[in-house]
Amino acid sequence: MGYKTVTQCRVCGSPDLHPYLDFGNVPLANKLVTDGSSPDTYPLRVLFCKYCALSQLSIVVDPKVLYSNYPYHSSVSATFKKHCREMAVTIKGILNGRFKPVEVNDPIRGDSWAQDSIQHPHLLDIAANDGCLMNEFEEEGYFVSGVEPSSNLCEEYRRKRMQRIRLGSSMQNEFWGRSALKTVKSGWGIDVVTALNVLAHVDDVEEFILCAKEALRRSDELGMMVVEVPYARNLIEDNQFDTIYHEHLSYFLFKPLQKIFAKCGIPIFRVEQHNIHGGSLRVYASEYWYPVEDSVTQLLAQEEADGLHRLEKYQVMRFRAEKTMADLRDLLKRLNSEGKIVAGYGASAKGISLLNYAGLDDRFIHYIVDETPDKQWTFTPGSHIPIADPDHFSKIYPDYILILAWNFQKELMDKTRWHAESGGRYIIPIPEVKVL
Ligand code: JHZ
Ligand code: ZN
């Protein structure tokens, strides 16, 4: 079977979970197909916990099936790289704000001097993917290490590291947990643990956070954990139903996030909202004395005031999603009957999910391009659309480009200016179907 059923909320333990969306049985979005076989399908249902407001899937697919070999490479997006770089600068600023000058004995000069800032904090990135974040942090002067369960991504990181002569950094090929922690603790002390776009993928979130907390160096009382998750507010308010797929076990509001970090004894002291991936929350947590900022209480109050902690807010989501899927189907059927060529840009997991949920296949979308070599020359699971490299645009010229990675709309449109300049049109599917 390869999955287990969820019987209680993974944040607060309540068994009182209410279903509000059901996509039926669908394939795993990132299991790209290389032959004509039909992929396995799994139920996809979302449940809401009335006590802590966590939305979560009704099943957990075996993580080894999902991640041992993973085609998604974070470094493909320049927008994401820039985002990671900004994060490196911000975190250094926070660490230095708390840093107490220390006397350093200099054996060469024979005297001692006061170090007044942290020049080279030590970073551990969990679910480091292809090392995108590690590389950006390294450029900012951090010492970096990572843990990543996908063997293909670790291999790629190691290959590129040799080319860049970054011999100080390392990436462990493991799921994050006690065993990976043991290795981390045997190395240098860690000042910052980052975990981007991974907490939503984790079943035992408590154990995940506790292990991260233990990885932090204790001696200087500076260590912090910085986590990013797609924000469930955007899922609800911006109709991002295509971000619901088997990898995303949880859809976090700030309320459940704050609850689980507090339970683990590493409270959140700052929360920020970022535009990345359609809208994300970034939280900073530490067991040491970082004053809790107003952003924490303000965001909690705002969620409450906006009704995000109540089930009623979620029950209408289905109707809006169905309308978007119907609009997309109608548009693509019309274009098909007019003989137009439609190509997708970005074989994102969400794009693949959208096509499956809307029942759209290779009759309506001729091909999808993606710059990720691991995705090229495969087919989307279920809808069976070929994935090619961007050169394909010049081989089969599209009348319409469907932006399947709508979170990177600007980057993808900038890369295909020739299309707009020659009268080509774009389709943006989310939050509502738009033709530009
Ligand atoms: P993208 C990912 O989901 C993965 P996906 C993951 N499941 C997660 O949690 C969320 O993000 C938050 C390609 N592309 O990022 C690369 C180009 O070819 O929207 C990707 O295949 N050229 C862990 O898969 C895809 O598009 C480009 O210039 O839904 C984008 O996928 C750019 C910008 C992207 O995420
Ligand atoms: Zn709960």
CA-proximal residue: ligand 1, atom 14 (nearest): 346
Q: What is the DSSP string of 206-217?
A: HHHHHHHHHHB-
Nearest Cα residue to 237 out of 330, 303, 328: 303
Pocket test for ligand 1, best of 30, 72, 196, 280 (most atoms within 8 A of CB): 72
**Closest residue CA from atom 1 of ligand 1:** 348
Q: Which of 30, 242, 277, 403 to mutate to test the pocket of ligand 1 (most atoms within 8 A of CB)?
A: 277
Nearest listed ligand to the Cα of residue 257: 2
Residue 103 above 80 pLDDT? no
Instruction: Please tell me which of 52-56, 139-143, 288-292 the model is most confident about, judged by mean pLDDT.
Output: 52-56
**HSE-up (13 A, CA, CB side) for residue 346:** 27
Question: Cα of 375 to ligand 2 centre, how many Å?
Answer: 36
336 burial via Cβ count (<10 Å: 0-12, 13-18, 19+): middle
Task: Give the confidence band of 252 by pLDDT, cuts at 50, 70, 90.
Answer: very high
pTM more than 0.75 = yes
pLDDT for the residue numbered 109: 63
Nearest to 284 by CA among 61, 98, 146: 98
Indicate whether residue 347 lines ligand 1 (CB < 6 A): yes
Written as six digits, the tokens of 222 are 């500076």
Q: Atom of ligand 1 at shortest distance to CA of 30?
A: 24
| Model confidence at 385: pLDDT above 90 | yes
Q: How many CB atoms lie within 10 A of CB 182?
A: 11
CA distances from 102 to 112, 220, 261, 294, 364 (A): 10, 10, 30, 30, 65
8-state DSSP, 190: B
- Given a cut of 60, is residue 165 above it in pLDDT? no
Residue 27: count other Cβ atoms within 10 Å of its Cβ. 23
d(C-alpha 44, C-alpha 37), whole Å: 21
Of 295, 293, 259, whose CA–CA distance to 53 is shortest? Answer: 259
